[in-house]
A and B are shown apart, each in its own frame.
Chain A
Amino acid sequence: MKAIELNEDQIDALKEFMNVSIGAATSNVAELLDAFATMHIPKIVICNSDELIAVIQSEVDPKSKYYVIKQLFSGKFGGECMFVMKNSSAKNLGNYLYHIDNPSQDDINDAVIELTNILSSTLISRLTKELGVQVQFFVPSAQIVNSEDIIYAEDIQHYSKIIIISTVLEFKDQNIDGNIYILTKDEAINSLIELIDNKLEELYS
């Protein structure tokens, strides 16, 4: 099997597309949720699937409970967008979006799903728009888990390589933050490489 690698040009291009996507996402969040968000410069890591757990665990507090919201997207470039946020942040988000002091579990779930949908739709739509392909989004699902249960080894054992595009979202005023991971695997990585190459060729020809 051919080794899956992105060369420097491809990584630079992907970073550039992601920066544009992140700009669009912050602007959409501000407009739709009426909140000022900042997002960090994305980190792009290509790793073996078994390293994903370590990457995620390095960014969470082992003693906290987390909301994990996953949304699949399909098309030539398909994958999974995962948003991980602390219980306390999720509660603040529910509080903010539902305008109530003590949001119900349903309110919090709906709020985190809504935010994830806005973020993943914007980030992925923008990225795929740059790459000239269409994408379909599926219903997000939310779960509350202990930090060690964010990802189980058996969830990813069928994949060999994973691209992790990660960034941090912060709403300073509302005390909300979370980590966003765009995960894509094996065949989709090859499609992504092909799409980036096409785009680079188009830009430089």
Chain B
Amino acid sequence: MEFKHCDILLDSLDNGYIILDDNFIVTYWNKWLCINTQISQEQIMGKSLKEFYPDLNYTVLQRKIKTALSLKTPSFYDPNSNTKFISINRNKVTTSSLTLMQQQVIISPYLINEKKVIISIYDISELHETKLLIQQKNDKVTELNEALEADKEIINQNIMIMRTLANGVIIDVSMLFCDFFEYEKQNIIGKSASILKIDESSKCLYEELQNIIINKEPWSGELEIKTSSDKSKWVEARISPIFDEENNLIEFNTIYYDITNKKLLEELYITDALTKLYNRAYFDEILSSITKNQRKADINFALILTDIDHFKSINDNYGHQVGDEALKAVAQTLKKALRENDVIARWGGEEFVVMLKNVTVKEAQMIAEKLRSVVENEKINDLLTCTCSFGISMYIASEKIDDTFKRADDALYEAKRSGRNKVMTKL
């Protein structure tokens, strides 16, 4: 009567229950198992489980039964195992990664004296499927993370990046950044970005950049920056502000490109190798741009052509090396005596050309006189002095630049003809 009551209880549960002895004889097989395995109680009860499930590892099952009976506590199968205790097809029609029911199998001691255990079989397929799905996603995340790490490493080694907080404190720099600017990463993190010394030539630009970034706008431009060992490097910097979800500025990311070689090439392209002044081609470019655009602010300029007097005799008397030294010295003397905005170039041989911006004739004459005087008073190599003759012309709006040159050349010729070391003007 009591056993009958137990039968009803086991049949009404939504799990599989088998009562089995240590010889694998089934003494109970509940309704859930009958439905799911299509093996009826009449077929299996009183028979060995081996007849129905010959592939089961009975050595292991026997050990687990022994453990449960001996310890009087349950023993378990691994719920994640791909080996099923008993195969039950899974009838899920919609997407499923499991064709067989995933089971959690617990062997509990039942009637110890009769060496009987009760085997509970729980369907954990949904849980297991979720677990597999999470595992798949995790594997994908791991894979993506590895790819990301590899990319990060490539960026680290090949791109110069600096990350700063909104207040300019450096929070990260790439390895290439450290190599390029000669800083140790640990020594630069936490410092202000102003640790990067901006060259005088880029100071104006730097101030402009500071104003722009205060306004939270991106900025890009070329800067000359000193490395920690004071080497000058040219970089193109691109600064991007980073905002949080509420549009508060939180960081700046700066990417630097080394343009030092490009800058050197540019300089070589426009510079006269001996005197380090601009070369004739570059001077022509400047003039051509001014005369082409005819902007009012640019077209008010004077041209000065100047030529070292008796340069041939310097070469003849002291040799070409001294002649070159004289050319260099005169070039630098002239450059130093000019204003910052004025442009000077080597025109050819011992001849130089100067463009004085925004000057009257009188001012041009005064400047030329000053140039004449400084050259006259300069001692070259503590050995000799030399003089220059100067011809001035004023550019007339819309005229051909050749005409301006022609007048300056005529004036220079006149200065030479009238005894040299003179300034002459032809308007």
Contact = CB atoms under 8 A, between A and B. Distances in A.
Contacts, number: 60
Interface stretch (A42-50, A79-87, A107-115, A190-198): A107-115
B78 interface: yes
Given A32-B66, A99-B59, A139-B106, A109 B71 contact: no
A97 B66 CA distance: 14
B74 A110 contact: no
Interface centre among B70, B72, B78, B106 (most CB of A within 10 A): B78
Given A99-B59, A114-B64, A139-B104, A32 B70 contact: yes
Contact of B82 (A28, A32, A106, A117): A106
A113 B104 CA distance: 13
B341 to A, nearest CB: 65
Contacts of B63: 32-33, 97, 114
A204 to B, nearest CB: 29
Nearest to B70: A32
A28 B72 CA distance: 12
A111 to B, nearest CB: 9
Contacts of B71: 28, 32, 118, 121-122, 125
B381 to A, nearest CB: 71
B160 to A, nearest CB: 33
Given A28-B71, A140-B76, A106 B66 contact: no
Interface string B64-95: 10110011111111111111000000000000
A28 B73 CA distance: 13
Interface of A is mostly: helix
A106 B81 contact: yes
B73 A110 contact: no
A105 to B, nearest CB: 8
A174 B244 CA distance: 59
Given A99-B59, A117-B67, A137 B80 contact: no
A109 B71 CA distance: 21
Contacts of A121: 67, 71, 73
A8 interface: no
Interface in B17-76: 57, 59-60, 63-64, 66-67, 70-76
Interface of A: 28, 31-33, 97-99, 106, 109-110, 113-114, 117-118, 121-122, 125, 137, 139-142
24 contacts: A28-B70, A28-B71, A31-B70, A98-B57, A98-B60, A99-B59, A106-B83, A109-B81, A114-B60, A114-B76, A117-B76, A118-B67, A121-B67, A122-B71, A125-B71, A125-B73, A137-B73, A137-B74, A139-B104, A139-B106, A140-B76, A141-B79, A141-B80, A142-B78
